[in-house]
Amino acid sequence: LVIGLVEAAAGLGYGVYHHLGLSNAFYIHTTYHQLSQPVWLNFQEEHSHAPTHLLYETADPKLRDLRNQVKNVVLIDDEFSTGQTLSNLVKPLREKLPQVERFIGAAILDWIPNEIPGITCVSMHKGYYSFNWKANMQLKNPTVAKGTDDKILDAIIPHNFGRLGVQSLDIACQNYVDITAFRHKKVLVLGTGECMYPAFLIAQYLEKGKVDVYVQATSRAPYNVDNDLEGKLVFKDNYHENIDNFFYNPKHYDTIILCYETTTLPDNYDLPEQLKQYASEVIELFLSPTT
């Protein structure tokens, strides 16, 4: 069982799962979004801008049977900071899946200071940090992403790109983009929110067609503009939750292709309009997986 932790690892997680190439495995990612599907478990990422993670019951009974037999669970995130989130997730997983023999945490960057009992961590980079506490420190900006209300989003995000468990994930890229239209252009494929891997698939398809293509994603994470973060666009999300989202380090392209898993866009969503200052052409794709 491979689990990706949103937001950043919704796409990264499936990439790792796909690379493993296992037939007796499946992928599922956590989510911030409310669905009518039963919640299998939830856990907290206390230090995060979006502290509550939901892990839904898998949609396919065959995957439920497989999940109840797994011996290894791989937990994917972009970064481990203290290890608390891993511990918060593994605790209910042990209760739900007592037969699991090994939990593995995999990240690009690992800051965890000490080993976590019962969890093996692997990463591309390992580092350490420390802070000097500043008394009476006041935060200038809120650190938790909050919308106006909680909504059931079944009609807005009806497609399963991993939120309900998948063994394979693909989209018919040729139905969405014509490679010949972009061969002599610099193109950015921009995922939105938790819709990351589908954007990667579009970009990969264009790259195979010899297009000069880049891929990136928006985020609800409120980072400070500093050092390598040189700028950002701020806009309301496309999930109808009225939450501030961000597009970091916007650069100039001939074409920007926006990728959505949402079926509709809210009236106050203005990212396409803001992107027009960075590209002469902004294209919006409403994606669905192949079945």
- Mind listing the pLDDT tens digit for each residue in 166-211? 999 999 999 999 999 999 999 999 999 999 999 999 999 999 999 9
3-state secondary structure of 84: helix
Query: Residue 282 has which token pair?
Result: 């902004």
If one counts every other C-beta atom within 10 angstroms of the C-beta of residue 26, the result is 22
> What span, in angstroms and rounded, lies between the C-alpha atoms of 209 and 13?
25
Residue 57: per-residue pLDDT: 96
Residue 257: per-residue pLDDT: 99
CB 259 within 8 A of CB 232: no
The whole-number average pLDDT for the span 133-160 is 77
Continuous H helices in 127-213? 197-208
> What span, in angstroms and rounded, lies between the C-alpha atoms of 259 and 3?
23
Task: Give the pLDDT band of residue 254 (cuts 50, 70, 90).
Answer: very high
Task: Give the pLDDT band of residue 77 (cuts 50, 70, 90).
Answer: very high
Beta-bridge mates of residue 24: none
CB 10 within 8 A of CB 36: no
The whole-number average pLDDT for the span 32-38 is 95
pLDDT over 70 for what percent of the chain?
93
* Average pLDDT of the chain, as a whole number: 93
Higher pLDDT among residues 233 and 140, named by residue: 233
**Strand arrangement of the beta sheet that strand 27-29 belongs to:** 27-29, 2-4, 72-80, 102-110, 119-126
Q: Give residue 39's identity as a one-letter amino acid code.
A: V
Sign of the dihedral defined by the CA atoms of residues 202, 208, 211, 213, in that order:
positive
User: For the chain, what is the largest distance between any 2 Cα atoms, rounded to a whole number of angstroms?
Assistant: 59
Residue 59: per-residue pLDDT: 86
- Helices and strands, number each (H, E), in the chain: 5, 13
Query: Residue 79 has which token pair?
Result: 């970064």
The Cα-based distances of 284 to 53, 162, 207, 263, 278 in angstroms read 28, 21, 19, 11, 15
Residue 109: per-residue pLDDT: 95
Residue 143: per-residue pLDDT: 55
The CATH code of domain 2-126 reads 3.40.50.2020
Question: What's this model's pTM, rounded to 2 decimal places?
Answer: 0.92
3-state secondary structure of 174: helix
> What span, in angstroms and rounded, lies between the C-alpha atoms of 100 and 1?
10
Task: Give the pLDDT band of residue 49 (cuts 50, 70, 90).
Answer: very low
3-state secondary structure of 22: coil
CB 250 within 8 A of CB 278: yes
Residue keyed to tokens 């932790």: 5
The whole-number average pLDDT for the span 50-62 is 88
Closest by CA to 42, choosing from 28, 27, 50, 31, is 31
